Amino acid sequence: MHENLRRLTLIGALAVLAGWPAAAGDTSARQLIAQFAAEAGTQPSAARGKALFMGTHTGGKPETPSCTTCHTRNLKAAGQTRAGKAIEPMAPSVNPARYTDSAKVAKWFRRNCKSVLGRECTAAEKADILAWLSSL
Ligand code: HEC
């Protein structure tokens, strides 16, 4: 048991040294918000994040004018993709796995901001949105 633990610790340390790609559970909303805010040089604003998430936009795909098109306005409930596939709730209070995987967060911000806004979200926008979502 003790030996296994030591071996696991060693493997973990080697993985970090080798710069292995980010794995699930490698971060937290707080950490991500701090990173994006530092990158943007702004203070995150949950109010701005909420307005952006709840708002209706042009510039993206006509069938997805808002983040709420898929995630709905009730972030504690499940959403739905355009194809009808369920999306787990976005609120960490009901879905604690949210915003703990940096690769997942990056992937979906990229994809969803392009769909809704027709461009990637800025670091400031990502900090704002996460500041709001993580408070739910
Ligand atoms: C076309 C449907 C759709 C739209 C529109 C959409 N999303 Fe998503 N979103 C998804 C899906 C599908 C996932 C991945 C499945 C999951 O995480 O449950 C996801 C995941 C995410 C994640 C990752 C959450 C995590 O656990 O790390 C974030 C952040 C996110 N969306 C933000 C947004 C924002 C911000 C907008 C508006 C700019 C938006 N989404 C619009 C479908 C959508």
> pLDDT digits over 70-120, tens only?
999 999 999 999 999 999 999 999 999 999 999 999 999 999 999 999 999
Q: Which tokens is 27 given?
A: 């971060």
Contacts of 29 (CB under 8 A, 6+ apart): 92, 98, 99, 100, 130, 133, 134
Residues enclosing ligand 1, CB less than 6 A?
A: 53, 64, 67, 69-71, 81-82, 87-88, 98-99, 101, 104-105, 108-109, 112-113, 115-116, 129
- The per-residue pLDDT for 19 is 47
Residue 92 gets the label, from left (phi > 0), alpha (psi -120 to 50) or beta, of alpha
- Determine the pLDDT at residue 80: 96
CA 39 to chain centroid, in Å, comes to 16
Is residue 6 scored above 70 in pLDDT? no
Best mutation site among 108, 121, 130, 133 for ligand 1, i.e. most ligand atoms within 8 A of its Cβ?
Answer: 108
Q: For position 98, what pLDDT does the model report?
A: 97
**In terms of pLDDT, which residue wins out, 24 or 17?**
24
Q: What was the pLDDT predicted at 13?
A: 56
- 35-70 pLDDT, tens per residue? 999 999 999 999 999 999 999 999 999 999 999 999
* 112 CA from centroid of ligand 1 (Å): 6
Q: Burial level of 52, CB count in 10 A (0-12/13-18/19+)? A: buried
Cβ 80 vs Cβ 86: under 8 Å: yes
**How far is 24 from 135, CA to CA, in rounded Å?**
21
CA R_g for the chain: 17
The atom number, within ligand 1, closest to the CA of 99 reads 27
90 alpha carbon – ligand 1 mean position (Å): 8
The residue among 127, 129, 134 whose CA lies nearest residue 55 is 129
Atom of ligand 1 nearest to the CA of 121: 38
